[in-house]
Amino acid sequence: MSDSGYESDISYDSLSSLSSPDIWSDFTNRHTSPVPVDHAEGWQRKTLPLELVEQIFDLLFLEAKTFEDIRPFSMASTQFRTVALRRYMSTLRIYSKKQLISHTLMHYSITFRSSPHVYAGFDWVKHLFVVPEALTTSRWKPDLFRDLRSLHISLADSGSRTQGSILNRISGNPTFATVASRLSSLTITSLWRIGVDLLSMVAGIFPALTDLHLSSSENLDTSCCWLCYEESSAAVTHSPIPGHYANVRTLSTAFAEALLPLTKLVHLHLGIFLSDEDMVDAHIDHYDSPREYERALLVYAAEKRPNEPVTTLSQSERSNGESEESLSYRTDGEDLEDELDHRRDGEILPFPHGPGDCPICAVLVSASQQTVHHSTRKRWRREDDDNVCASRQREG
């Protein structure tokens, strides 16, 4: 027994027998060379356990997540190729119709080379992230995903008026009902509105859900300035109180009744604000006219900021390696001399803005992160927004 705990591939007796003159070689003239190790008596070929191969690949896959990165690993052997493809396709991300077609061709190629009735290709997919562009095309074959358990749909590139039609087209696929009935987790982000109609549709299509995540706050644009944020907030229903529901109790009752068919539901996340819709508008007005909030500033300045972290109202889709874009802000009276004059005159300084100074700003920024794979501008944004916003800031 060796120090590593594994027996030597060739025992001492086997080595002695190899030097015996009675052994004939099959590869050279007789009595001129020993028998190859593969032919040694009592020798057995050692194979690397499949579980160990999978763990090695998992370590590789932590850093290399693209198909090009894992290709050398998959070409090492048939065993490595099977492990690489199965682990790679267990969590699949599809961002376009073209990418869906490529993965579908890969699926047919794998299944063609596999034995009949063996799970392969899309059968390995457990978690699927996909955009409506791929789900609404004729190339989308839901019946190929026989073991799908988690579905994430991002509407980041969809318009505010197409939300309902997109979901109807996705659920209208004849073979989608079978897949939907087996799903245990559903995530839909960048919604433009979360209401009873949407919840009722989800409850009817996905009856076996245990986890449901719906969020609309990703459509709030915090990447530029307050003017862009105000424009985006007018397009998305981020605060349904009091415009659509009188209070939190009314909203909770209506949503609970819509979700009654989901008898297995355990975790529910709704990415909306429960505060009054006027709060954001008042906060923006406060930014433009801080003198109107002098009394509120006195209360704020007298109280210490809480030590506990601000509650995040919507889960961020960013990866750990990406930097987060914060809401741009400015403080009126940035000139130091003017600030000193205000202090000498006893006037109250403008209300501070920014995630580090204002709790409302911190909540807005934390709840409106852009989707990591879809950080492009929304369709309601004009191409010259940056120039317009810059000129407005200079005028202000």
| 163 vs 61, more confident | 163
The first and second tokens of residue 177, run together, are 């009902």
pLDDT in tens, 94-145: 999 899 998 888 888 888 777 666 677 788 899 999 998 888 888 888 988 9
Task: State the virtual CA torsion across 160, 317, 197, 146 in degrees, nearest 10.
Answer: 110
Looking at residue 306, its amino acid is: P
The first and second tokens of residue 293, run together, are 């909030």
Distance CA 395, CA 19 (A): 95
pLDDT in tens, 227-283: 777 777 777 887 787 777 878 888 889 999 999 999 999 999 988 887 777 776 666
Instruction: Give a three-class secondary structure readout of the chain.
Output: CCCCCCCCCCCHHHHHHHCCCCCCCCCCCCCCCCCCHHHCCCCCCCCCCHHHHHHHHHHHHHHCCCHHHHHHHHCCCHHHHHHHHHHHHHEEEECCHHHHHHHHHHHHHHHHHCCCCCCCHHHHCCEEEECHHHHCCCCCCHHHCCCCCEEEEECCCCCCCCHHHHHHHHHCCCCHHHHHHHCCEEEEECCCCCCHHHHHHHHHHCCCCCEEEEECHHHCCCCCCHHHHHHHHCCCCCCCCCCCCCCHHHHHHHHHHHCCCCCCCCEEEEECCCCCCHHHHHHHHHHHCHHHHHHHHHHHHHCCCCCCCCCCCCCCCCCCCCCCCCCCCCCCCCCHHHHHHHHHHCCCCCCCCCCCCCHHHHHHHHCCCCECCECCCCCCCCCCHHHHHHHHHHHC
Cβ-defined contacts of 161-166 (< 8 Å, 24+): 163/191, 163/192, 163/193, 163/198, 164/197, 166/132, 166/135, 166/136
Band of residue 328 on the pLDDT scale cut at 50, 70, 90 = very low
Q: In the predicted model, what is the mean pLDDT of residues 316-336?
A: 40
The overall pTM is greater than 0.85: no
The first and second tokens of residue 202, run together, are 């989800």
Burial annotation 5-18 (CB, 10 A radius, 16+ → b, else e): eeeeeeeeeeeebb
Per-residue pLDDT at 290: 45
The first and second tokens of residue 278, run together, are 């006027």
| 391 vs 134, more confident | 134
Distance CA 160, CA 173 (A): 22
Range of 36-45, 61-70, 85-94, 370-379 with top mean pLDDT? 85-94
| Residue 270 CB contacts under 8 Å (≥ 6 apart), including other chains | 194, 214, 215, 255
pLDDT in tens, 184-239: 999 999 888 888 999 999 999 999 999 999 998 888 776 666 677 777 777 788 77
| 96 vs 292, more confident | 96
Band of residue 389 on the pLDDT scale cut at 50, 70, 90 = very low
Q: In the predicted model, what is the mean pLDDT of residues 366-394?
A: 42
Per-residue pLDDT at 201: 92
Per-residue pLDDT at 38: 54
Residue 127, number of CB atoms within 10 A of its CB:
15
Residue with tokens 């010259």: 384
Does the pLDDT of residue 327 top 50, yes or no?
no
Range of 119-128, 178-187, 288-297, 350-359 with top mean pLDDT? 178-187
Which bin fits 179, alpha (ψ -120 to 50), beta or left (φ > 0)?
A: alpha
Per-residue pLDDT at 33: 52
| 336 vs 248, more confident | 248
pLDDT in tens, 301-313: 555 444 444 333 3
Task: State the virtual CA torsion across 173, 174, 179, 181 in degrees, nearest 10.
Answer: 110
Band of residue 292 on the pLDDT scale cut at 50, 70, 90 = very low
The first and second tokens of residue 241, run together, are 């109180």
Band of residue 288 on the pLDDT scale cut at 50, 70, 90 = low
pLDDT in tens, 9-52: 434 344 334 344 444 444 444 445 555 555 555 566 677 777 78
